[in-house]
Structure 1
Amino acid sequence: MKTITASIATAFALLTSTIAQADDLSEARIKELVYEAIRENPGIVMEAVQILQQQEAEQQANSAAEVLSTQRDLLENDPNAPVIGNPEGDVTMVEFFDYNCPYCKSAANEVKALMAEDSNIRVVYREWPILGEGSVFAARAALAARNQGKYEAFHWALMDLKGRAEEASILRVAEEVGLDVDQLWEDMDSPEIEEHIATSMALTQALGLTGTPAFVIGEALVPGFVEKAHLEELVGQARDAN
């Protein structure tokens, strides 16, 4: 509602500006003409809103495309980002996610199924904890698990966790997958973890992302849950482009 209200206000300002450019009129007369135009054709406001929204979407898409181009190496080859699947795969899929996001949990099953059928996919995970303190703790613990060679096992176990990921449940899962919890606590404070999360935040802001999950596959930026069939299509497009 706030977005629509803001768009209407902007559209009104646009109409006012258009009339002002056409004639040298007083502010009062301009407003009068605008109101007359709206009364005679109420749909003109929504038409203006749609034009503005389309322009904003195009600007965002262009901005995201530029980021994908300039930040490609960081997105796909950051040595501080976990990689699963085939490390030498011909297509790289980057996923931004949060362990407390139900859509991420559903998407995890789609990604796992895709990887089971396509052994030439390289998956880069970007921890993006935006859903509370439990999410931050989970991200830090998962990244710390790299030092024990158990990131992937811990990742899937956390995705399978029922209920919210909070400190107690996360540590329980850590024990279940065979992690040394004392070492995990120690490794969670490493500067590499701070850097990974900060980089994820910077990338998502630059890409204009507003929620999890989100995927980067080739030139495609896809926010939200994606089914396996669509992932396959995007991977195929990226593979053809390569």
Structure 2
Amino acid sequence: MSSSPADTAPSTLRQSLLTALTALVFGFLGAAIWSYAGLADNRTRSFLLDNPDMLPQMVEAYEAQEAEKRLAAMGDEVFAPFPGVVLGNPEGSKVLVEFTDYNCPYCEASLDDVTRLVAEDPDLKVVIREWPIFEGSDQASRMALAAGLQGKYDAFHKAMFKLGDVRAAAQEAGLDMARAEADAASDAVSGEIASNLDLARALGFTGTPAWIAGRKP
């Protein structure tokens, strides 16, 4: 029986995260591996004809390279988190940025891997950029940012993926609900979500999860 995209998602995400961390270790800004420079070569064309399943991976790599170019021109904004919206070491010198959506199954599939990476590397800072692109995700993203303002982002983030219900996740994370609801509706939170949308568009991202690997500016 052939594997479905959902079946292969965890291993693909693990490979993406491993690539990103390799980039961090060697000091690269991004994690693109392949170049399109060789596509004009006859041997490359023959390889693709014989292995058509490789083409989507090469397209993804090319898109990642293009995103790196845009990232280099963008400056450090993408690495600066909304207050409290960080996993791992807030002062870590290795930075992994994740654009995420709570209704994204691949984002959920990557959570255990991110948690393990954070546990294994005390110098890793994971900046989460809330990017609610799926229907019904806006409320969860707003509450997540509100949780960050209470210093409880990690707890809410994990509870939200586990429970799938905003209020239940907020209660499990121990949020002050009156304050959280006010913060979730605030201009600061609305501005952060709008900013994340602009950043994702500027980088050419078309879906979640999207990753950026870098080092502390």
TM bracket (short chain): 0.5 to 0.7
Letter in 2 for 1:122: K
61, 66, 73: which one pairs with 1:70?
A: 73
Q: d(CA) in 2 for partners of 1:99 and 1:61? A: 23
Letter in 1 for 2:162: D
Q: d(CA) in 2 for partners of 1:126 and 1:155? A: 12
Q: d(CA) in 1 for partners of 2:206 and 2:146? A: 26
Structure 1 match to 2:52: none
Please list the CA deviations of residues 220-242 of structure 1 after superposition, one character each: whole Å capped at 9, or x if unmatched: xxxxxxxxxxxxxxxxxx79xx9
* 1:204 Cα deviation from its structure 2 partner: 1.1
Q: From the CA coordinates, give the structure whose radius of gyration is larger.
A: 1
* 1:71 Cα deviation from its structure 2 partner: 2.1
Structure 2 match to 1:31: none
Q: d(CA) in 2 for partners of 1:160 and 1:79? A: 23
Greater than 6 Å deviation, 4+ residue runs: 56-59
Identity of aligned pairs, percent? 42
Structure 2 match to 1:178: 174
- Secondary structure of the corresponding residue to residue 122 of structure 1: strand
Query: For the aligned residues, what is the CA RMSD?
Result: 3.0
Q: d(CA) in 1 for partners of 2:61 and 2:105? A: 29
Q: d(CA) in 2 for partners of 1:156 and 1:57? A: 28
Structure 2 match to 1:159: 161
- Cα gap change, 1:217 to 1:146, in 2 (>3 Å): same
Q: Which has the higher contact order (CA 8 A, sep 6+)?
A: 2
Q: d(CA) in 2 for partners of 1:123 and 1:155? A: 12
Q: Which segment is superposed worse, 144-153 or 97-106?
A: 144-153
Matched, 1:194 2:196: no
Flag structure 2 segments of 5+ consecutive residues without an equivalent: 1-48, 50-55
- Cα gap change, 1:151 to 1:197, in 2 (>3 Å): same
Letter in 2 for 1:196: E
Is the Cα–Cα contact under 8 Å of residues 81 and 196 in structure 1 kept in the other structure?
no
Q: Number of paired residues?
A: 165
Flag structure 1 segments of 5+ consecutive residues without an equivalent: 1-46, 48-52, 219-237
Structure 2 match to 1:150: 152
* 1:216 Cα deviation from its structure 2 partner: 0.3
- Cα gap change, 1:188 to 1:62, in 2 (>3 Å): same
